[in-house]
């Protein structure tokens, strides 16, 4: 699977590195053909360069939505990407990308969707809301990406406990390794061609005999 990994401007790049490490260890049957970001100085892009991964900076600023969409599609085609992973990329993807890579785009969200998702619900804000609500379990969701924030069909979900004395940082730290493992597992299911989408549901088909 030729994978493009989209990163955010503020993210640490830990999901990107978890994907890269899984590929290096033979746990994910893919090749990172592009690490895409809007800001060249983003910490996650610095980590990508440090790991020798191909970086493509596609700025959104100074372009209208159509111009940004065209530039992204060109970058993905040039890189030969046949699947996309959103690893801390916080923008809505242009329709041309969602439609062009339909059911081949996976996002990881640090909560059990549909709860604690949507516009503005990312990173610290999510864990703050989970604790403030008094939830007893939290978790992460790997899902296919559609035209809105965090609303695509769910591939995998994993849970963690919320402890009474948790702070958002403590909860985030407990969840992060679970996110990494869940993201890699979902991408491997995609690489194996084992995801079948029926309406809103994603069914995992049995492993095909070799
Ligand atoms: C992760 O918590 C992920 O769930 C969310 O953005 C964060 C990115 O973290 N979508 P990192 O940059 O991969 O460390």
Ligand 1 atom with the shortest distance to the CA of 123: 2
Does a structural domain hold residue 31? yes
Does a structural domain hold residue 209? no
Q: Which residue CA neighbors atom 1 of ligand 1 most closely?
A: 88
Does a structural domain hold residue 113? yes
pLDDT of 166: 98
Tell which one of 108, 116, 174 to mutate to probe ligand 1, the residue whose CB is within 8 A of the most ligand atoms. 108
Does a structural domain hold residue 210? no
Does a structural domain hold residue 16? yes
Q: What is the mean pLDDT of residues 177-181?
A: 98
Average pLDDT taken over every residue of the chain: 97
Does a structural domain hold residue 57? yes
Q: Which residue CA neighbors atom 8 of ligand 1 most closely?
A: 88
Does a structural domain hold residue 60? yes
User: Has residue 209 got a pLDDT over 90?
Assistant: no
CATH of the domain at 44: 3.40.50.170
Q: What are the pLDDT digits (tens) for 50-81?
A: 999 999 999 999 999 999 999 999 999 999 99
20 in active site: no
Q: Which DSSP string corresponds to the chain?
A: -EEEEEE-SS---HHHHHHHHHHHTTSS--EEEEEEES-TT-HHHHHHHHTTPPEEE---TTS-HHHHHHHHHHHHHHHT-SEEEEES--SPPPHHHHHHTTT-EEEEESS-TTTT-STT--THHHHHHHHHHT-SEEEEEEEE--SSTT-SPEEEEEEEE--TT--HHHHHHHHHHHHHHHHHHHHHHHHTT-EEEETTEEEEPPPPP-
Q: Which residues line ligand 1 (CB under 6 A)?
A: 11-15, 44, 87-88, 108-110, 122-123, 179
Q: Which domain holds residue 40?
A: 2-196
* pTM score, whole prediction: 0.97
Number of domains within the chain = 1
Does a structural domain hold residue 206? no
């Amino acid at each position: 699977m030729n994978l493009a990994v989209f990163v955010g401007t503020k993210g640490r790049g830990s999901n990107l590195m978890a994907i890269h490490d899984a590929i290096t260890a033979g746990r994910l049957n893919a090749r990172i053909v592009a690490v895409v970001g809007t800001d060249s100085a983003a910490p996650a892009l610095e980590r990508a360069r440090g790991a020798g991964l191909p970086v493509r900076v596609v700025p959104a600023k100074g372009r209208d939505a159509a111009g940004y969409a065209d530039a992204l599609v060109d970058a993905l085609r040039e890189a030969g990407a046949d699947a996309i992973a959103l690893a801390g990329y916080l923008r809505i993807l242009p329709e041309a990308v969602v439609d062009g890579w339909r059911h081949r785009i996976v996002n990881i969200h640090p909560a059990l969707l549909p709860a604690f998702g949507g516009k503005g619900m990312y990173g610290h804000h999510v864990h703050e809301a989970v604790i403030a609500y008094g939830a007893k379990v939290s978790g992460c969701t790997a899902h296919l990406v559609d035209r809105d924030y965090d609303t695509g069909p769910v591939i995998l979900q994993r849970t963690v406990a919320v402890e009474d004395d948790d702070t958002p940082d403590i909860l985030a730290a407990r969840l992060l390794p679970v996110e990494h493992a869940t993201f890699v597992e979902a991408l491997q299911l995609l690489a194996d061609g084992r995801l079948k989408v029926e309406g809103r549901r994603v069914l995992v088909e049995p492993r095909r005999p070799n």
